[in-house]
Amino acid sequence: MIKILIRTLVGLCVLAAIAFWALFLSPRPALTTDPATLAGDGSTLDYCALPALDGLGKLATDIAKGNTPGCAYSHFPLPILEACTEPLSEGADDIRGLWKSVSGRHLGHVERIEQCGQRVVITTGGIIHDYGPNSTLGKNTNDTEGMNFAIRVGGKNFCPRTSASMIWEDGILNFRPFGFGPVVVRRYMDNDQLIWEYADGSVTRMNRICTLPDDKKNPKFN
């Protein structure tokens, strides 16, 4: 009995070590975000003036995947899909724009949502999550979870790797870890508000805004 317990504990420790390595120490994803996009200033744009998705410009597959530089971007970047005009995929609701939470656990949260074809890009709090067909990487997001979840070792920050799908299902944008796990985040419209639900049951309501608040130009971390 003692031997079984010891083997079980050793096995759990090994699994925990593997999970820790995969999350924090495994090689970071290649940075494929256009350098000009990261260098540009996305805080100067009017996000109520949405581009027409008329198919006259680039397709989603013509544009490199956006992902988080290191553990976070230093300032709010330009839109990843700025040049894309591919019409939204069948079943997708149009939730493009800049949103600020007005109620719920994440009060004051601001995020930018871009869409083009099957692509969905969410930029907020130093991180960039980009799902869909592109010119450089796979469909799933391939980046990090940002500085709020980072650990610091030897003067260096290590932030957890993330990968997820963002797929429209019955009018709801569902986030699934690695593309096949359970739904952990849901986004959908309720009249003029964007609803953001977590798997823990928390619900955040967001209103559309046109310009980025000054305190969101540079990410702040807990």
Q: Cβ(94)–Cβ(115) under 8 Å?
A: yes
pLDDT digits (tens, 9 = 90+) for 139-193: 999 888 776 676 776 777 778 888 899 999 999 999 998 888 899 999 999 999 9
Sequence ranges of the domains in the chain: 29-216
Output the pLDDT for position 2.
73
- Looking at per-residue confidence, does 4 or 127 come out higher? 127
Q: Cβ(95)–Cβ(116) under 8 Å?
A: no
Confidence of residue 86 (pLDDT cuts 50, 70, 90): very high
CA distances from 41 to 35, 46, 60, 64, 84 (A): 12, 12, 22, 19, 18
Q: Which of 46-55, 66-75, 114-123 has the lowest mean pLDDT?
A: 66-75
* Token pair listed for 222: 């807990």
Q: What is the pTM of this model?
A: 0.89
Q: What is the mean pLDDT of the chain?
A: 88
pLDDT digits (tens, 9 = 90+) for 128-143: 999 999 999 889 998 8
* Strand blocks (E) in the chain: 97-103, 110-116, 119-124, 127-131, 143-144, 151-153, 156-158, 161-162, 164-169, 172-177, 185-190, 193-198, 203-209
Output the pLDDT for position 181.
83
The CA-CA-CA angle for residues 102, 106, 110, to 5°, reads 70
CA contacts within 13 A on the Cβ side of 82: 15
Confidence of residue 28 (pLDDT cuts 50, 70, 90): confident
Q: Which fold has domain 29-216?
A: Lipocalin (2.40.128)
